[in-house]
Structure formats: structure tokens, C-alpha cells
Amino acid sequence: MFKENRTRSFIKMLSWRVWATLTTMILVFIFTGKFLIAVSVGVVEVVAKMLLYYIHERIWDKIRIGRQESKPFVLWFTGLPSSGKSTLADKTYEYLSKKGYKVERLDGDVVRSFFPNTGFSKEERNTHIKRVGFLASLLENNGVSVVSSFVSPYEESREFVRNLCDNFIQVYVSTPLEECERRDVKGLYKKARAGEISNFTGISDPYQAPKDAQIVIDTSKETEEDSFKRIKKYISSYM
């Protein structure tokens, strides 16, 4: 529940009093033409109204009318390993955090580090993504936006997540396989090619490209700054 503390009420009271009493004094001076009366009314008013204002603020703290939160959303980055999902997701998360938005960052590697036994078969991947989607939707339902980056190669589980969330924005990072493999941020493509790891998306596992993504970003053709600008523009309607 949202509350305003006493310090806020006190500072607001002072801030208001400056402008309000100045106005009163000017008004009284205009109507009476007497400077002394204007000052006298001002002095008494300052004391009486500060008390009144503070009490008024404290009462309004209990009244819910017109208090609202921004519309939360789930911004879901999908794409091949090393396609640039995490970089863009991190940037978006930091942007929203700095603006004071309630936002949670969910990253494939981080979530898997909590649950190291999660496998990479089609079924395990789908179950994993569905669980993460369930989590994201609960956060969204409670006013927290989510910026997530998961390879999430299968349409089935992405659709499951889309249906769970109210405002699901899919960002397909469509950087071509050749470019992703050239980057090979974690050296995993090399291992996959050498047969050291199996079920590696793009090499030994399929990636089903989404057909309904709200934003499509090919990081081999667009600068990070331009991509980020498009993301910012898209989410601005929720802010």
C-alpha cells in the first residue's frame, strides 16, 4: 500500500504557505490599503493555516481517490544466443529503473543459475519458459513491469506467456546466426560445433522465429542506440 510520510506533509505545508500567505497579504493590502493590517493578518494566518494544512494533508493521505500507478507490461526479448538480447534488455531495465518505474529484470542465465537442474530438451525448455512467464504475469498483475531476456526458441511456450500477461510486448532480436556465431560472447557456439554441448539453439536445436513480434531488431544492421530508441518509443504508451 502506498503512503505519504509526515516529513512530506510538513515540507509541502511550508512550500504552500510561502505562496498562500503572500497572496493573502497582497489581497488584504489591496482591500484595506493598510500595510500593518496586511502584515498582521499574514502573521496570524501563517500559524493557523500551517496547522490546518498539515492536518489536511494527513487526512488526505488516507483517501485513495486519484492515486494510480503506471500500466505495467512484460517486455520479452527472444532470439538466438549472442544475438544481443541481454544488452538491450539491460539498457531498457536501467532506463526504466532510473525513471522510478517498478520493474524487474529476468534473464535466462540468472534464473537458470537458481535452478541448475533445468534441462535443455524441448519439453524442459517449454516448461521453464512457462514457469518464468507465470512469474512475469504475477509481477505484472501486481504493478511491476518485467524486462526479460530468454532464448525461448519455441512458439508454444511464448504463446503461453503471451496469454498469461495483460501487456505482452515481444521483441524479436533477429540478428542472423552467422553474426551471433561470430560474436560467440560465451564461447558456446564453439563448444556446440565441437559437439561438447548438445541441444544448443541455432546449431543442434531449432529456433522458431516469432511471426507476431511487436518489435524486430537485427543488431547486425542497426546500432544499439537506434534499436533502443525504437524500444523506448514503443513502451512510452505504457509509461
Q: Which residues bind a second copy (CB under 8 A)?
A: 1-9, 11-12, 15-16, 19-20, 23-24, 27-28, 31-32, 37, 40-41, 44-45, 48-49, 52-53, 56, 60, 64-70, 99-102, 104, 111, 114-115, 117, 127, 130-131, 134-135, 138-139, 141-144, 239
Per the CB < 8 A criterion, the answer to whether 89 and 147 are in contact is yes
CA torsion 201-225-94-171 (nearest 10°) is -40
Which residue lies nearer to a second copy by CB, 5 or 223? 5
Q: Whose Cβ is closer to a second copy: residue 32's or residue 208's? A: 32
- The reply to whether 152 belongs to the active site is yes
Residue with grid cell 537506434, as numbered in its chain? 226
Complex with a second copy: residue 31 or 156, whichever CB lies closer:
31
CA–CA distance, 236 with 73 (Å, rounded to integer): 11
At its nearest, how many Å lie between a second copy and the CB of residue 152?
A: 17
How many residues are there in the chain?
239
Residue 39 Cβ vs a second copy, minimum distance, rounded to whole Å: 10
**Pairing status of strand 74-79 against strand 103-107:** unpaired
Q: Minimal distance in Å, beta carbon 63 to a second copy?
A: 8
Cell 521483441, residue located: 171
Choosing from 152, 157, 174, 227, the catalytic residue is 152
101 grid coordinates: 518505474
Beta bridge partners of 106: 148
3-state SS assignment for residue 230: helix
- Residue 110 three-state SS: helix
Contacting residues for 132 by C-beta, under 8 A, at least 6 apart: 106, 111, 148, 150, 161
Q: Minimum distance from CB of 137 to a second copy (Å)?
A: 10
- Each as own residue / partner, the long-range contacts of residues 49-54 (CB below 8 Å, 24 or more positions apart, any chain) are 49/17, 49/20, 49/21, 50/13, 50/14, 50/17, 53/12, 53/13, 53/16, 53/17, 54/9, 54/10, 54/13
Closest separation in Å from C-beta 101 to a second copy: 5
Taking the least distance from each CB to a second copy, the nearer of 101 and 154 is 101
Nearer CB in complex with a second copy: 118/220? 118
User: Which amino acids are annotated catalytic?
Assistant: 152
